[in-house]
Structure 1
């Protein structure tokens, strides 16, 4: 029996949780579907499904095998598409992740421009301020800010952003502009972290200077910390791209710029492999070209 066809049948049974429904969707007889799964169980030496009168569920081995089959079938499909022409038109479902504010400001307009150019693509965004496991969560492309750990991912650097201290001009007029980091304990501090008793901010190349602070306001989002700073409550530490609009409107003023740490790199990241879908290749080229010309990532 053809192993590729059997894998395709197995995946359909897993998706439908039903041998009969899989047979109907594949326009096959139920016995043929059963034989294909039995063939794979014989080849692998593992039971792939637990079958009862009411349900068909994957075993633990079946769940692992399903992920492998999905990957293999996708690679076969992409190999066939590539063989049909390296300039195949991008199509399909594109999943993109980025930090919240960066995604809102920079990624969304790039993504909508990409969708206008490639009508066969449908996109979904996941803008969150956490490290997304792009393999486990099925993400095609991620924008990462900060130093990357070694991984099996392909990363293309597109620029860098600064960690900046900022406050409203009204606050600085009343409290004074700090001239060096050691003066910060005398100021109202806004921490863009969920909570705690204190924070330690680092300054200078490689962060060789540190200042321990006890903020009176802990914010669990960067947006909230920014709003508190705009309202004149105190000094916040954010990333340069997050306040570019507010700085241009004179709502926030950067302080202690001469003491900043080294900028943080920004990368476009995607799973590495012999085969990458046309939609992913096209979007990576598209977003890299545009982010590299973004002033907020290149003004250092």
Structure 2
């Protein structure tokens, strides 16, 4: 087996999390995959994978070699893609990640439209609410909500969202509307752990951070369940503005305590610098930034204003 194929095997084992997964992905036998790893480790003189009965993970040396392998394989893939198709007709498989609810509402329709426009591109879409490590996980593009710290990535600003406090009109009619964040201790609250700490919500008063301790009626880690609880009048909730946008537009939730909102949170599209010349990535970056920058919910337009304009 040549060196490039051995690199492909090593990367596949890491990406799939197992030797079996690499066999399935590459169509190789288990002995062939084992021989490839043994050959690599013998040639380099160091273990690349730490194996247990339940898992396989790269060693420190393996992580370093993994990045080098990805660079080599990416260069080859991009070179082949350049020969096979021009930039207007990208080819290959694109791996992207986005937060679950954001992905469901905004990214999934965009991916579908992208695939319809570019028939020679396939997409591996991963929706989760943790921070994706692009290099280590082989992700081409990630949509991230929050302040960035990745020096190894390019960031394309898409807009911003706000952490806002909401309540159902029926709840406010029954319990009254809090006029100051500290009034929340007298109210039922639903804490969505994907946005706020369970027992402490953060506000801003005259430019100063204002934390408020709570005893929530409900603590939930699933966005749709948290939103449903607020809509049903279980209690007041904090959400990112895009998460509550449909419910605000249809009148099921309304923002409160708007004078005490924290600073806005940026939304960015990230891609790894070394892959910036890839046709498939360049095409998706252009397609996504154009679409999402035109999304009113990411440009500071309040959902109530959108509702009023209809």
The answer to whether TM tops 0.5 is: yes
* Equivalent residues in 2 for 1:178-257, closer than 5 Å: 178-193=178-193, 198-204=199-205, 208-257=209-258
Tell me what 2:117 maps to: 117
Q: Pick from 3, 6, 13 the counterpart of residue 7 of structure 1.
A: 3
* Equivalent residues in 2 for 1:70-109, closer than 5 Å: 70-79=70-79, 81-82=81-82, 87=87, 89-109=89-109
- Matched residue SS, 2:135: coil
Give yes or no for contact 2:191–2:197 (8 Å, CA) kept in 1: no
1:82 Cα deviation after fit? 4.0
Q: Report the CA distance shift for 1:158/1:78 in structure 2 as closer, same or farther (over 3 A).
A: same
Q: Report the CA distance shift for 1:217/1:196 in structure 2 as closer, same or farther (over 3 A).
A: same
- Matched residue SS, 2:202: strand
Equivalents in 1 of 2:57, 2:230: separation in Å? 52
1:210 Cα deviation after fit? 2.2
Give yes or no for contact 1:99–1:127 (8 Å, CA) kept in 2: yes
Give yes or no for contact 1:7–1:69 (8 Å, CA) kept in 2: no
Q: Deviations over 1:192-215 (max 9, x none)?
A: 128987223222465522222121
Give aligned pairs, total: 277
Tell me what 1:175 maps to: 175
- Matched residue SS, 2:134: coil
Give yes or no for contact 1:160–1:297 (8 Å, CA) kept in 2: yes
Runs of 4+ more than 6 Å apart: 37-40, 194-197
1:296 Cα deviation after fit? 0.4
Give yes or no for contact 2:202–2:209 (8 Å, CA) kept in 1: no
Structure 1 unaligned blocks of 5 or more: 50-56
Structure 2-normalised TM-score? Answer: 0.77
Deviates more, 1:192-201 or 1:238-247: 192-201
Equivalents in 2 of 1:288, 1:133: separation in Å? 21
Equivalents in 1 of 2:245, 2:261: separation in Å? 17
Tell me what 1:283 maps to: 284
Query: Greater Rg, structure 1 or structure 2?
Result: 1
Give yes or no for contact 2:202–2:262 (8 Å, CA) kept in 1: no
1:77 Cα deviation after fit? 3.3
Give yes or no for contact 1:168–1:252 (8 Å, CA) kept in 2: yes
- Matched residue SS, 2:158: strand
Equivalents in 2 of 1:126, 1:205: separation in Å? 39
- Matched residue SS, 1:246: helix
Equivalents in 2 of 1:259, 1:158: separation in Å? 24
Q: Report the CA distance shift for 1:216/1:123 in structure 2 as closer, same or farther (over 3 A).
A: same
